[in-house]
Amino acid sequence: MPARSIYSVIAGVFTFLALSVSAFAAPPVESSISGFVQDSITKETIVGATVRIKGSKRGSYTNKNGYFHLPNLADSTITLIISAVGYTRKELLVNISKREAVQIRIELQATSITKDVVTVEAERENEQRNISVSRVNIPMQQISQMRIGGEADIFRALQMLPGVLTSSQISSGLYIRGGSPDQNLVLLDGMTVYNPTHLFGFISAFNVDAVKDVELLKGGFPAEFGGRMSAVLNITQKDGNRDHIEGLVALGFISSRASLQGPLGNGSWFIGARRTYLDLLLGLLPEDPKNPFPSFNFYDVNAKITQNFGDNDKVSLSGFLTRDVLGLVQPGLNFEVGIGNRATSIRWLHNFKSDLFLTTTVSASRYDNGFGGNNSGFIFAINNSITDYTFKTGLEWFFNEDITFRFGYEGTLFNFTYDQKTGSENDATGGTAASRINVWDNIHSGYGQINAMVTEDISVQAGFRVNYWNESRLTTFDPRFAVRFQLYENVAVKASWGIFNQYLRLASAPDFTFFDTWLPTDQTVPPGSSNHYILALETTPAEGFNVNVDVYYKTLKNINELRQGQSFSTTVANVFYIGNGEAYGLEFFVQKKIGRLSGWVGYGLGWVNATFDSINFGREFRPKYDRRNDVKINTLFELDERWDIGASFVFQSGQSYTGATSQLSGRMPGWEGGIIMVQPSQRWGLRLPNSHQLNLNVNYKTTIGELPLRIFLDIYNVYSRRDIWFRYYDTTEPIPTVTDIRLLPIIPTISAELKF
């Protein structure tokens, strides 16, 4: 399709929406209430707060910007009930005159998360209108109290959800419902993050001090999100304290962090930084020569500036920077990995009027990595980077109390680089160039969506997204549909279906699942595509408890596996094998967000199958990220105002790996040494032992003078089970041996957090 055709297609999206709107009679001008909900002290807007009209089931919730809208109200005095997890419930009287659009700012006072806040009716009203299928939201107050190795961590919390897996405790990617890490869209203030975790999986790339809201969509996500086949993780950073300067310093054995925030003009600023010294800590532990510890360190920086220009315009500038270094030296194997992210975005929020909301974001993001080493005389070096420049804009239109429209445009310019060098250390040239790629690509997308209440108990969400990938001159269409039935007062059934196309691919070096190499879909390979089918049951069997049961099935078309032994590659087809697959399973999730005892229990049962013509003789096999059983338990108990006790437990089926059946050796005339090659078995045909781990933490709250102080005692890996990271074959001796590289033992830590 010619490039200009995509603009015609996108124009068609907006034409379709205009026609859809015209199909409804223009509603008469009615009274309405809209505005923002914010923290009473910091003035930070609150995401996900409920705003309900007392004495009715009508309500709304605040979006990612803290904005809500209640249309078509009677001309009278209305009592609003406003609530949010971690805040004291508030009632507010609002006087409305005929055909008046009232705009207000509502302030809530922060309180303990253990306080019971009942918002069942408003939450159900919000869910009926917006239909969030396979959506999980963990309150930040709860995440901040979950400690692993002295750190409150977003990704550790996400890894504790059913259906969210890692290849090991040292994985850099999340495997969600059978999807590989490249199939997850990770957004931070609208900018794409390509490596969202640090190398040791229990510490993510996102400093919890800098984050306001975490939303995970495990499947069936709406049309405003595209370019990925599996899931969406949407993270919003804090704006900063608009009232006064405040800071935080946290010291621990594994890492330390600090943050500052305060008012600036008609807005605020925030900056936070973190650095680990785990490499120094491991150096103090007794070393096991057979199972040495890896050397590891990282740092990250988050920053944001926000300004309001009048009542209807808000501009924010966000920044994000990370760096990781990991190394290991062992007989027969040594390597070093370096990984980093750099990203920035500027976002403009504008209210045209109370029922029309605009969000525009311009962002730049770069991810790079380098990986090199020596494995029994075989040397390797790989360097990869991906840079994107993105512009996206979207409108949210509250047409009336039953109908909401969303539509927008997104365009991205990509630059991909990939260089690989491999060979024998006996080679006088020091290795032979295996792959070298430098590609510029761009993609354009338009989307439209309607949410409608059909009846009091039935709501639907319908949308579509059209994408044009310039490299392949290819246009794809992504229809999305979801429906929700309120069966009983506290029981609802949801179903969704959608098509999700993807143009980016991830290559992972074998046995090193933390190394991510991003490449585009070029004209030699088709784009990836997935169909999601989800059926979900949700209920609130008792006050404060939520129960969700999800059954899902996904088709996976044009997925990839890394080719081995290529001498030179200039196309993506020479880097990957292309095949198809499927993923299906069941997830059970019980969550309690409030009360002295909070947390959740989750269980996931899943299957992933794949078929590649050039792998395993064309027979079906399970990819490396297939795990059958996944049990997650996380609890937090508040003993009193000073003491909290928490625990987390994980049990998972073993990670798949490729074994070996035999070895081949040979020597050319005049060579001093020979070449020994291990003949692999079926791809990912074997499993490592089951993985399980228990972590405990105790939190104590006190003060130094008038400054709040928290002290944390954490025991990571309580019974010191060192799970296997990966398994390799040492061919330096006459008889090759199988060697297991193991992960960390028990690590008790004490850390402290002081606010000022």
Q: Which of 414-423, 506-515, 725-734 has the lowest mean pLDDT?
A: 506-515
Residue closest to 190 by CA, chosen among 36, 344, 306, 396: 344
pTM: predicted TM-score of the whole model, two decimal places? 0.83
Q: Which of 158-167, 419-428, 570-579, 624-633 has the lowest mean pLDDT?
A: 419-428
Per the model's pLDDT, the better-predicted residue between 107 and 624 turns out to be 107
Task: Answer yes or no: do 49 and 148 share one domain.
Answer: no
pLDDT of 410 > 50? The answer is yes
Task: Over range 598-624, report the average pLDDT.
Answer: 88
- How does residue 518 score in pLDDT terms, banded at 50, 70 and 90? confident
pLDDT reported for residue 127: 54
Give the model confidence (pLDDT) of 71-102 as tens digits.
877 777 888 898 887 788 888 888 888 777 88
Give the model confidence (pLDDT) of 208-265 as tens digits.
889 988 899 999 999 999 999 999 999 999 999 999 999 999 887 777 889 999 999 9
36/51 Cα distance (integer angstroms): 10
pLDDT of 24 > 50? The answer is no
- Whether residue 618 lies inside any domain: the answer is yes
pLDDT of 23 > 50? The answer is no
Task: Answer yes or no: do 174 and 108 share one domain.
Answer: no
Residue 149 structural domain: 135-755
- How does residue 590 score in pLDDT terms, banded at 50, 70 and 90? very high
Task: Answer yes or no: do 30 and 57 share one domain.
Answer: yes
pLDDT reported for residue 607: 93
pLDDT reported for residue 258: 93
pLDDT of 312 > 90? The answer is no
Q: Which of 19-28, 148-157, 549-558 has the lowest mean pLDDT?
A: 19-28
- Whether residue 130 lies inside any domain: the answer is no
Among 117, 152, 185, identify where a domain stops: 117
- Whether residue 124 lies inside any domain: the answer is no
Give the model confidence (pLDDT) of 133-181 as tens digits.
888 877 777 777 777 666 777 877 888 888 888 766 656 567 899 888 8
- How does residue 480 score in pLDDT terms, banded at 50, 70 and 90? very high
pLDDT reported for residue 290: 67
Among 64, 86, 117, identify where a domain stops: 117
- Whether residue 123 lies inside any domain: the answer is no
pLDDT reported for residue 390: 97
pLDDT reported for residue 651: 92
Q: How many domains does the chain have?
A: 2
Task: Answer yes or no: do 90 and 200 share one domain.
Answer: no
Task: Answer yes or no: do 725 and 620 share one domain.
Answer: yes
pLDDT of 37 > 50? The answer is yes
pLDDT reported for residue 513: 47
Q: Which residues of 466-500 are buried (b: 16+ CB within 10 A; e: fewer)?
A: bbbbbbbebebebebbbbbebeeeeebebbbebbb
Q: Which of 265-269, 296-300, 434-438 has the lowest mean pLDDT?
A: 434-438
- Whether residue 344 lies inside any domain: the answer is yes
Q: How many helices (H) and strands (E) does the chain have?
A: 5, 46
- Whether residue 669 lies inside any domain: the answer is yes
For residue 240, the domain's CATH number is 2.40.170.20
Q: State the maximum Cα–Cα separation within the chain, in Å, rounded to a whole number.
A: 98
Task: Answer yes or no: do 447 and 315 share one domain.
Answer: yes
For residue 53, the domain's CATH number is 2.60.40.1120
Task: Answer yes or no: do 301 and 424 share one domain.
Answer: yes
| The token pair that represents 210 in the structure block | 């800098």
- How does residue 567 score in pLDDT terms, banded at 50, 70 and 90? very low
User: Percentage of the chain surpassing pLDDT 90?
Assistant: 31
> Based on the number of CB atoms within 10 Å of its own CB, is 658 exposed (0-12), middle (13-18) or buried (19 or more)?
middle
Q: CA–CA distance from 206 to each of 157, 331, 500, 552 (Å)? A: 12, 35, 26, 29
Task: Answer yes or no: do 169 and 271 share one domain.
Answer: yes
Write down the mean pLDDT value for the chain: 82
Q: CA–CA distance from 281 to each of 339, 366, 583 (Å)? A: 21, 30, 40
Helix extents (H) in 395-450? none
pLDDT of 606 > 50? The answer is yes
- 137 forms beta bridges with 215
Q: Which of 1-5, 296-300, 689-693 has the lowest mean pLDDT?
A: 1-5
- Whether residue 127 lies inside any domain: the answer is no
pLDDT of 565 > 70? The answer is no
Task: Answer yes or no: do 210 and 78 share one domain.
Answer: no
Q: Specify the DSSP class assigned to residue 278.
A: H
Of 204-218, 376-390, 439-453, 730-744, the range with the highest mean pLDDT is 439-453
Residue-level length of the chain: 756
pLDDT reported for residue 384: 81
pLDDT reported for residue 568: 53
- How does residue 577 score in pLDDT terms, banded at 50, 70 and 90? confident
- Whether residue 129 lies inside any domain: the answer is no
Task: Answer yes or no: do 157 and 258 share one domain.
Answer: yes
- How does residue 117 score in pLDDT terms, banded at 50, 70 and 90? very low
Task: Answer yes or no: do 94 and 171 share one domain.
Answer: no
Among 91, 117, 143, identify where a domain stops: 117
Task: Answer yes or no: do 60 and 172 share one domain.
Answer: no
DSSP string, 475-518: EEEEEEEEEEEEEETTEEEEEEEEEEEE-EEEE--TT-TT--EE
